[in-house]
Amino acid sequence: MELDEMISTFGMSESDLTELVEYFNVYRMDYMPHGVSKEDLPVSVDNFGALLDEMGFSLTEAELLSLIDQLDPNKLGYIILSHFLMNGAKPLFDKCRITEETAKEVFNLMDQDRDKMVTLDDLKRTMKMFGEELPNNYVREMLKEVDIDGDDMICYGEFLFFTTGIVE
């Protein structure tokens, strides 16, 4: 199916579709199962979570498993792009995609003292606000995971990259 045709059939934006095709290409299985061609872009169910993750979807483990069940009902072990498009890609984009806008909102929410940097104190205050009292070293680990340049602070660019994979 051509891209234009896909856009009108599935009602997704061209950029979303193009991105999806790109990611399916990257994660495509090397070995083609019987009856499946390269153009179908089969992705192993084991890699499907990583693919969605890298695209900036936030799904719980349970949501992922039920999605895989739905997309691979016969337990063939792979998911092809057109099947994904026909069965829930669009709602998933609408519902679970962390957009740049959302990332910005969350970042501003976490940056409690509004100095454009999320520090350990900011994180602790945010957690407290949500009623989560976490040990210091745990919060520090969270920060480290996002802090690419190692200055012990999270700037917006680092946060955007972590949540959406977008490079500012």
Q: How many residues bind Ca ion (CB under 5 A)?
A: 9
Interaction of residue 159 with Ca ion, rule CB under 5 A? no
User: Which of the ranges 62-70, 71-79, 98-106, 140-148 carries the binding residues for Ca ion, by CB under 5 A?
Assistant: 140-148
Which of 147, 160, 163, 164 is in the footprint of Ca ion by CB under 5 A? 147
163/125 Cα distance (integer angstroms): 20
Residue 113 in the binding site for Ca ion (CB under 5 A): yes
Among the listed ranges 56-64, 135-143, 149-157, 159-167, the one in contact with Ca ion (CB under 5 A) is 149-157
- DSSP H helices, 81-147, are 81-86, 89-96, 100-110, 120-129, 136-146
CB of 128 to Ca ion, least distance (A): 15
Q: Select 46 or 115, whichever has its Cβ closest to Ca ion.
A: 115
Q: Are 127 and 159 in contact (CB under 8 A)?
A: no
Task: Provide the CA 68 distance to its chain's centre, in angstroms.
Answer: 15
β-pairing, 78-79 with 43-44? Answer: antiparallel
